[in-house]
């Protein structure tokens, strides 16, 4: 009884076409915030417009080769990694690394992100404070 009631309270978009990213965003936000057009527009925005000072960090979902010991298999799967800034320097906090890897300043960060995005099959999620998200302040004006 309670479970059925809770399910009715949840906003839930079902899959149509290949818009799973749009549906996932709307489902987690619990309202129809994004359309295919809006999501496409966000994806086309230049990395130069990111207001890096307002972004807490980045989560990247990137292709990763599968290996068994020293043998690399011809199989690729997705891997999540984090990027965070400390005192003006950005670091790759990939859990597969032995230690954080220095990326550098803002220019080097944009190059780092661009390299992953140019390979395709990569997503970049921004981690921002709630106030920044609500104001849409993670992007600089055009």
Q: What length is written for the chain?
A: 142
- Give the model confidence (pLDDT) of 63-93 as tens digits: 776 666 667 666 667 788 999 999 899 999 9
Active-site position among 12, 23, 33, 79:
79
Domains assigned to the chain: 2-42 (no CATH), 46-135 (3.90.70.40)
20 catalytic? Reply is yes
Active-site position among 20, 23, 33, 122:
20
Task: Tell which residue, 65, 94, 85, has the closest CA to residue 77.
Answer: 65
Is the predicted pLDDT of residue 110 greater than 70, yes or no? yes
- pLDDT greater at residue 124 or residue 109: 109
Task: Tell which residue, 137, 124, 136, 53, has the closest CA to residue 90.
Answer: 53
79 catalytic? Reply is yes
The predicted model scores a pTM of: 0.70
The CB-side HSE value for 89 (13 A sphere, CA atoms) comes to 8
Structure tokens at 99: 């230690």
């Amino acid at each position: 009884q309670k479970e059925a009631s809770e399910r009715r309270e949840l906003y839930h978009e079902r899959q149509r076409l290949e818009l799973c990213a749009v549906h996932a965003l709307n489902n987690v936000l619990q309202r129809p915030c994004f359309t295919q057009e809006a999501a496409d527009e966000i994806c086309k925005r230049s990395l130069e417009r990111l207001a890096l000072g307002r972004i807490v960090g980045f989560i990247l979902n990137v292709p990763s080769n599968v290996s068994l010991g020293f043998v690399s298999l011809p199989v690729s799967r997705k891997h999540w990694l984090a990027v965070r800034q400390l005192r003006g320097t950005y670091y790759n906090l990939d859990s597969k690394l032995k230690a954080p890897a220095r990326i550098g300043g803002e220019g080097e960060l944009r190059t780092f992100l661009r390299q992953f995005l140019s390979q395709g099959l990569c997503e970049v999620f921004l981690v921002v404070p709630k106030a920044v998200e609500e104001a849409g302040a993670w992007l600089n004006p055009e």
